Amino acid sequence: MRQIHYSEVIEVVAQLCQETNFSLPEDVLNSLRKARSEEKSPLGRIVLAQILENARIAAEEKVPICQDCGTAIVFLELGEELELTGGNLNLYAAIEEGVRRGYKEGYLRKSICHPFTRKNTGDNTPAMIYTDIVPGNKLKIIFCPKGGGSENMSAIKMLSPSEGIEGVKKFVIETVKSAGANPCPPIVVGVGIGGTFERVALLAKKALLRPFGSQNTDTELAALEDELLEEINYLGIGPAGLGGSTTALSVHIEMQPCHIASLPVAININCHAARHKEVTI
Amino acid sequence: MEVELTTPLTEEDLEQLHIGDSVFINGVIYTARDAAHKRLVALIEEDKELPFDIEGQIIYYVGPAPAKPGQIIGSAGPTTSGRMDVYSPALMAKGLKGMIGKGNRSPEVIEAMKSYKCVYFGATGGVGALLARAIEKVRIIAYEDLGTEAIRQLVVTNFPVIVINDIYGNDLYKEGVKKYQKKNRKY
């Protein structure tokens, strides 16, 4: 069996914490550039120019794009023919150590606290870790720092099956509309449909990671993504919520079968700083 | 309209401001977010003195990233203002004249801005690296135990904001959306 030492996992995660917070993915930057050239509102164009200038400064100076360096969300795809080695550690402890180091060494803001006392844990742990076991002998680590402002505007609802696709559309539009300026538009909208209460939220989160411009392979869902993006941009919320034609950059839907009694829908909103990156070791 | 303002603000400063104006702020401003607001309002309720003279001042809702070597402050963009809504009217009653943040304010806060004469400025969310460049000096003046949420006195030069709510009860978030929304949609 192929072996990977935990120290390598720690190092990769520590780097990912910093790289994701300093540099936006190229597809996100391209989408922002396109939005700047197409935005109808003069104030909106100023905001988009600020966003692009900010991204340039952050990448060049290796400083955080946003002071909210996010909750550390980690998706793992662990090959079943891979053996992890390294003494007393385990995989999750190695991830946590990577987060601890990355947030410290990168001068990233630690934003995780006790729900009631609000006492900060001091090192941005615990990370939110989700693991899929996959064929092969590799480990893929997807790191996604997620800001609190946009996370707060996300929503989940167990629809009645009779509400169908119309119910889903209505819920998505209502959620984006009521979020208004809060989640730092232009936003990315991740929509989960189906599964169960907890699975649908995870589908929505995973949908955020899909590259901009990609579409769901199901043609009906791809059409729904286009329709929702158009409708959301008709809302007029615009960049920073000041009014304009760019409210969302992208809508991504992930769907799976669900119980005959249910139609779960989750909407996870991401800000324009749609940070994520993956490394395979 | 473009306006340059220097703190502390006077009522005359605020009377000239209307929603959509671009404002460049100069001088001292104070940072505070959730935890600091809770403590400030507790002091007001106990009739105790605030840790800084709030008359004519601006509070910026921000929890900056740590400064790395060579910096005085890390990235420092606005946080969502709505969470401060429950505290803001009490601070306006004590003389607060400006708030910088992002996102919608409650009807109660907008009403209080009219009656106490206070303006809500929007800074662009998610551009903290850019905004930090307008910050010249930083000093923690209260609640150091709160870390990023401590109250900092900042000295800023041409800090760029937009007037979201003026003292006349107008709301740029509402007006801006009205201007660009497509009417008569199904959803």
Cα(A65)–Cα(A24) distance, rounded to whole angstroms? 8
Query: Of A40, A111, A182, which has the smallest distance from its Cβ to B103's Cβ?
Result: A182
How deeply is B178 buried, as exposed, middle or buried, from its count of CB atoms within 10 A (0-12, 13-18, 19+)? exposed
Report the pLDDT value the prediction gives residue A267, as an integer from 0 to 100. 98
Distance CA A143, CA A76 (A): 9
Q: What angle do CA A131, A135, A139 make, to 5 degrees?
A: 50
Q: What is the residue-averaged pLDDT of chain B? A: 97
Q: First vs last Cα of chain A: how many Å apart?
A: 14
* Run of H or E including A266: strand A263-270
The tokens of A191 are what? 């929509």
Q: Do B65 and A236 touch (CB under 8 A)?
A: no
First vs last C-alpha separation in chain B: 35
- Bin B134: left if φ > 0, else alpha if -120 < ψ < 50, else beta: alpha
Whether pLDDT at A89 is above 90 = no
Percent of chain B with pLDDT over 70: 100
Contacts of B128 in chain A (CB under 8 A): 54, 64-68
Could you read off the pLDDT of B78-117 as tens digits, one per residue?
A: 999 999 999 999 999 999 999 999 999 999 999 999 999 9
Q: What is the ipTM of this complex?
A: 0.95
Alpha carbon B103 to chain centroid distance?
Answer: 11
Tell me what pLDDT residue B178 has.
96
A169-198 pLDDT per residue, tens: 999 999 999 999 999 999 999 999 999 999
| Interchain pair A241, B130: CB under 8 A | no
* Chain Cα centroid distance, residue B77: 11
Which pLDDT does position A206 carry in this prediction? 97
Per-residue CA distances from A79 to A14, A91, A102, A131, A135 (Å): 21, 13, 24, 10, 5
> Using one digit for the tens of pLDDT, what is the confidence trace for B121-180?
999 999 999 999 999 999 999 999 999 999 999 999 999 999 999 999 999 999 999 999
What's the confidence (pLDDT) of residue B184? 85
* String of DSSP letters for A122-191: SS-PPPEEEEEEESSS-EEEEEEEE-HHHHTT-EEEEE-GGGHHHHHHHHHHHHHHHHTTTT-SSEEEEE
Record: contact B182-A107, CB cut-off 8 A: no
- pLDDT band for position A240 (cuts 50, 70, 90): very high
Using CA atoms of B158, B163, B166, B172 in order, give the dihedral in degrees to the nearest 10.
180
- Best of B33, B75, B120 to substitute, by most chain A Cβ atoms within 10 angstroms, is B75
In this structure, is residue B187 part of a structural domain?
no
DSSP letter assigned to residue B86: T
Question: CA A265, CA A194: separation in Å to the nearest integer?
Answer: 6
Burial of A240: CB neighbours in 10 Å, binned 0-12, 13-18, 19+? buried
Collapse the DSSP code of A27 into the 3-class scheme (helix H, G, I; strand E, B; otherwise coil) and give the result: helix
pLDDT digits (tens, 9 = 90+) for A7-51: 999 999 999 999 999 999 999 999 999 999 999 999 999 999 999
| pLDDT for position A96 | 98
Q: In the prediction, which pLDDT does A87 show? A: 79
Residues paired with A269 in a beta bridge: A189
Is residue B117, in this structure, part of any structural domain at all? yes
A99-153 pLDDT, tens digit each? 999 999 999 999 999 999 999 999 999 999 999 999 999 999 999 999 999 999 9
Q: What is the pLDDT of residues B26-61, one digit of tens each?
A: 999 999 999 999 999 999 999 999 999 999 999 999
Q: Do B75 and A170 count as a contact with CB atoms less than 8 A apart?
A: no
What's the confidence (pLDDT) of residue A37? 97
Q: Which H or E run contains A257?
A: strand A248-258
Per-residue pLDDT at B22 exceeds 90: yes
**Predicted confidence (pLDDT) at residue A213 exceeds the cutoff of 90:** no
Residue among A151, A150, A108 nearest A128 (CA): A151
Measure Cα distances from A172 to A39, A175, A232, A238, A243 in Å. Answer: 22, 5, 9, 17, 19
Distances (CA, A) of A241 to A35, A47, A237, B118: 14, 10, 5, 21
The CATH number for B171's domain is 3.20.130.10
The pLDDT-based confidence of B187 (bands split at 50, 70, 90) is confident
What is the band of A224 on the pLDDT scale with cuts at 50, 70, 90? Answer: very high
By the 8 A CB rule, do B104 and B84 touch? no
Mean pLDDT for all residues in chain A: 97
Strands (E) in B36-183, as ranges, are 58-60, 98-101, 119-122, 135-142, 151-165
Q: In percent, how much of chain A has pLDDT > 90?
A: 98
- Does B185 fall in a domain? no
Strands B151-165 and B119-122: antiparallel
Residue A279 has pLDDT above 90, yes or no: yes
The answer to whether A134 and A276 have CB atoms below 8 angstroms apart is: no
Q: What is the CA radius of gyration of chain A?
A: 19
Q: Is residue B151 domain-resident?
A: yes
Note whether B103 contacts A174, CB cutoff 8 Å: no
Percentage above 70 pLDDT, chain A: 100
Q: Which domain holds residue B127?
A: 2-180
**Per-residue pLDDT for B185 more than 90?**
no
Interface with A, mutate which of B24, B79, B120, B130 (most A CBs under 10 A): B130
User: What's the structural domain count of chain B?
Assistant: 1
- B contact residues 2-41, partner A, Cβ 8 Å cutoff: 20, 34-35
